């Protein structure tokens, strides 16, 4: 079974530039998550989709971050404009459903460096 | 709100040593508890989980018991191997339809031959 695919693996940009990350979840998984993992910290949920609807985006900095999941499959996360503090690994995960006993499968992540 | 506190790392052990990584939590209701592992260059993988009090999760020789009285979920392994070198994250899900995992900061484990 193919896992969660993310691209690119690495990205270096200057502050105030824009950047986009792509995620392809496991086939058939209705729920998709984007997490931000800052160095030395655990992952923090940015946004959760159920099919193509947003379930939770309470921790998404909406003035600069946006995400979409068109057709309920692939998803993109965008940052515009980027700040130095956005340097982190951005993890995408998917699961069959949203229940607490359901396992979430994570991609390898995109490491963003803002200089 | 929910929170997870993990033992500060890094932890360095010799092969075949006993491992304990402490994890305590604060949550409302009856959370499910997880240990995730992140090997170098790879994504997070679920290592084990426990969904109710007194449950013991186990996988690959690792174990953790859900202790509601002490709000703890300590990870243990009797004999570590070099291949266990990774970052370990304790996490909780507080229930409901929103699968919002709350993670600890992670503990880096290095096992030397």
User: Min CA distance, A13 vs chain B (Å)?
Assistant: 21
The CA-CA-CA angle for residues A19, A72, A89, to 5°, reads: 35
Decide if A103 and B101 are in contact by the 8 Å CB cutoff: no
CB B78 within 8 Å of CB B61: yes
Each residue's pLDDT tens digit, B18-36: 999 999 999 887 888 999 9
Decide if B100 and A56 are in contact by the 8 Å CB cutoff: yes
Place of tokens 């174990």: B63
* Confidence band of B97 (pLDDT split at 50, 70, 90): low
| Region of poorest pLDDT, from A6-15, B19-28, B93-102 | B93-102
Nearest C-alpha in B relative to A6: B43
Decide if B100 and A48 are in contact by the 8 Å CB cutoff: yes
* Confidence band of A111 (pLDDT split at 50, 70, 90): very high
Place of tokens 């007194």: B54
Cα distance between residue A25 and residue A84, in whole Å: 28
Cα distance between residue A43 and residue B76, in whole Å: 22
Residue B98: pLDDT over 80: no
Q: Mean of the pLDDT values across residues A8-14?
A: 97
Decide if A102 and B99 are in contact by the 8 Å CB cutoff: yes
> In A, what residues contact B, Cβ < 8 A?
3-4, 31, 33, 40-45, 48, 55-56, 91, 93, 95, 98-109
Each residue's pLDDT tens digit, B40-70: 888 899 999 999 999 999 999 999 999 999 9
* 3-class SS string, B23-82: EEEECCCCCEEEEEEECCCCCEEEEEEECCCCCEEEECCEEEECECCCCECCEEECCCCH
């Amino acid at each position: 079974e193919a896992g969660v695919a993310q691209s690119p693996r690495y990205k270096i940009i200057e502050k105030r530039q824009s950047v986009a990350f792509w995620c392809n979840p496991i086939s058939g998984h209705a729920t998709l998550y984007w997490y931000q993992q800052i160095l030395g910290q655990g992952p923090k949920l940015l946004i959760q989709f159920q099919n193509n609807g947003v379930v939770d985006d309470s921790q998404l900095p909406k003035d600069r971050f946006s995400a979409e999941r068109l057709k309920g499959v692939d998803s993109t996360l965008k940052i515009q404009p980027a700040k130095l503090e956005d340097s982190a690994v951005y993890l995408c995960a998917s699961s069959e459903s949203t229940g607490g006993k359901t396992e979430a499968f994570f991609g390898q992540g995109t490491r963003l460096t803002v200089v | 709100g929910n929170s997870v506190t993990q033992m500060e790392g890094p932890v360095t052990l010799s092969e075949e040593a006993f491992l304990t990584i402490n994890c305590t939590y604060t949550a409302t209701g009856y959370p499910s508890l997880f240990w995730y592992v992140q090997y170098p260059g790879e994504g997070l993988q679920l290592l084990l989980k426990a969904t109710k009090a007194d449950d013991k999760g186990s996988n690959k020789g690792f174990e953790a018991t859900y202790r509601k009285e002490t709000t703890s979920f300590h990870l243990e392994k009797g004999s570590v191997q070099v291949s266990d070198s990774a970052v370990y994250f304790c996490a909780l899900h507080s229930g409901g339809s929103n699968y919002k995992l709350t993670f600890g900061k992670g503990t880096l484990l290095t096992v030397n031959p």
